[in-house]
Amino acid sequence: MTIDKAIINGKSILVTGGSGSFGKRFIQTLLEQYEPKRVIVYSRDELKQFEMQNIEPFKSHMSTMRWFLGDVRDEQRLTKAMEDVDIVIHAAALKQVPMAEYNPFEAVKTNILGAENVVNAAIAAGVWRVIALSTDKAAAPINLYGATKLASDKIFVAANNHSGKRDIKFAVVRYGNVLGSRGSIVPFFKERAIEGVIPITDDRMTRFTITLQEGVDFVLDCLERMWGGELFIPKIPSYRVVDVASAIAPDAEQKVVGIRPGEKLHEEMITETDAMSTVEFDKYYVILPSFHAWNVAKFMETSSETPGRMCEYGFQYNSGTNEDFLDVEEIRGLIESSL
């Protein structure tokens, strides 16, 4: 799908977590392919913002860029940053599973209370569209990070019920691991490969995967598709963790060390219960909101190139039973292309 450039051109766009992996690629795409009026980086890391200001394409678009130091925990600062903003992309989060398990209150403050603050600030500032990024770990969560993101998802979906007569819509995008992103399995395995031994938590483990640019493009597509309250999920491939290790270091020993706290063998993005209110389109799924003010039949007919269809009872979207798996060579190609 090619997004109507009028969705972006001439608009003011704020990205929370704008100096992170996703935020940088998203803003880069905006600057290179569209003509936004303003792009606001909202993040708490002054060093990352400084580094962005000195590299392309940000360096060549300084008249378009704005740089806001701030935390999503600070509603007043968010409201100030969103003045005259049309679109908000909420990508800020604490996302390291073990750290969230050990520091639960900090994860709650950023991922849950931060979500509430973004919603309140967007409504107060008169923002037009808001998309929040989620994670496969929010489906049937077993760790605190996943639980906080599930709560965040619910907050953004329900925000559509509390916006009154304002012309503002909220939606959520959920996808799997971004191959090669900061803190992902790829840089970790590369470091361990130097020692000749790669630790594998469980040789049966699988994960969903998406490239950074695919994630950015899907969010842009959803900006045009959204009616308000949807949870969008792209159809993406899975990989076996052992195959990632083989792609990175085929000669290294693979040592099984056991699952870490809060980890699953396989990730889910749609549970059996979710499937009862999920629409399948050719390239993505949509979990419908519990309360919606629009016609579902019309949504299924007009939201994609081909009509959607309700998922059958018992359907699951699981990385272990996914029909699309990457092999070692495909994984290696994706890793090389992401460098």
Q: Which residues have a catalytic role annotated? A: 137
Q: Give CA–CA dist 289/313, Å, rounded.
A: 17
Q: Of the candidates 20, 41, 32, 109, which has an alpha carbon nearest to the alpha carbon of residue 72?
A: 109
Selection from 226, 210, 310 nearest residue 267 by Cα? 210
CB 300 within 8 A of CB 279: yes
- In which residue are the tokens 């107060």 written? 124
Q: How far apart are CA 159 and CA 329, in angstroms?
A: 43
Where are the strands (E) in 185-327, listed by range? 197-200, 206-210, 231-234, 238-240, 253-256, 268-270, 278-280, 284-287, 309-310, 317-318
Of the CA atoms within 13 Å of residue 314, those in its CB half-sphere come to: 0
What is the chain's alpha carbon radius of gyration, rounded to the nearest angstrom?
20
Provide the CA 46 distance to its chain's centre, in angstroms.
Answer: 23
Q: How far apart are CA 228 and CA 225, in angstroms?
A: 9
d(CA 324, CA 235): 9
Neighbours of 28 (CB within 10 A): 20
E strand or H helix that includes residue 311: none
